[in-house]
Amino acid sequence: MPHEILNTKEIERVFNFESHRDSLNNVRDITKLLYWGCLRYGEFYEAIQQKPLRLEKGKQTKWQVYVSKNAELKTIPLHEDALKLIREERLPRRIARENYVQYLKEILEKCGIKKTKIGAHTIRRSFCTNMY
């Protein structure tokens, strides 16, 4: 089954989304980490519980994330949006994948983005497509 992606303008609308509901803002922030890290939801779920986060400093700060699919560490450069969440200690809370998808669909609707085949992996696919 083909999946839809979010183009760069749609991603930007999601990233700029603000709500009075903390759960939706949390999902927006999860989406930033998934997108800029090109992470699978399971990788995010595991990585966010690491205390402290495995950060590698240098010219660019990088985040070491354990990839259970390959049983190895993946080092990803941190985009400024993701680094800002870390610096401000505003890391999103972990939530179940099903809840993430439900809230993401609600955000898309509130942003006027009409997509029907949206899942947690949509964000990773969107990053890969938009960066290609």
Is residue 21's pLDDT more than 60? Answer: yes
* In the predicted structure, residue 128 carries a pLDDT above the cut 90: yes
CB atoms within 10 A of CB 82: 22
pLDDT for the residue numbered 52: 60
Nearest one of 48, 42, 51 to 96, comparing CA atoms: 42
- Range list of β-strands (E), the chain: 55-56, 62-67, 72-77
Q: Is the pLDDT of residue 101 over 90?
A: yes
Q: CA dihedral defined by 27, 33, 35, 40, rounded to 10 degrees?
A: -90
| Sign of the C-alpha dihedral computed for residues 111, 115, 120 and 121 taken in this order | negative
